Amino acid sequence: MSFFFLIGKMLDVDVSKMDLHAVTLMANVSVTNPYSHDIPICEVKYTLYSAGKEIVSGTMSDPGDINENDVTLLKVPVEVPYNLISIANDLGGDWDIDYEVKIWLTVDLPKIANITIPVSKKGEIKLQLQLQ
């Protein structure tokens, strides 16, 4: 989806870390900036759904800038505490999680306004049995 030629796209969602208390998913978002100056990202909000239910939502602090005349890869960590997931029901025997991640990037376009770029992705993540 694009606004004022800024283009955001969710590339993938991977398991970044898994320990005894939580799974951290990393949502990789690319944003194309055709302007000749960096664009500040004011805020990144995210929501993770599984089986049609909201599992976790939050805000990423200090997301940085979208680089001028470039494609910037933004990594959004989404930590999912186990007490919010019913492992037996959600994982079943195959250790797969069906998910949908929605992310909203609010950027400051100077002399125009703040705009929000929505991106989302549905998929399936296979968890590894090895804990770190």
**Domain-wise residue ranges, the chain:** 2-126
Assign 127 to helix, strand or coil.
coil
What is the per-residue pLDDT for 2?
46
Q: Which two tokens stand for residue 88?
A: 């037996």
Q: Which CATH class is domain 2-126?
A: mainly beta
* Cβ neighbours around 97 below 10 Å, total: 24
Phi, psi values for residue 87, rounded to 5°: -55, -45
| Cα–Cα dist 106/40, whole Å | 9
| Mean pLDDT score, 3-32 | 83
Kindly state the percentage of the chain with pLDDT values over 90. 36
Q: Which of 17-21, 56-60, 110-114 has the highest mean pLDDT?
A: 56-60
Chain segment 37-56, per-residue pLDDT in tens: 899 999 999 999 987 889 88
| Cα–Cα dist 88/90, whole Å | 6
Residue 129 banded pLDDT, cuts 50, 70, 90? low
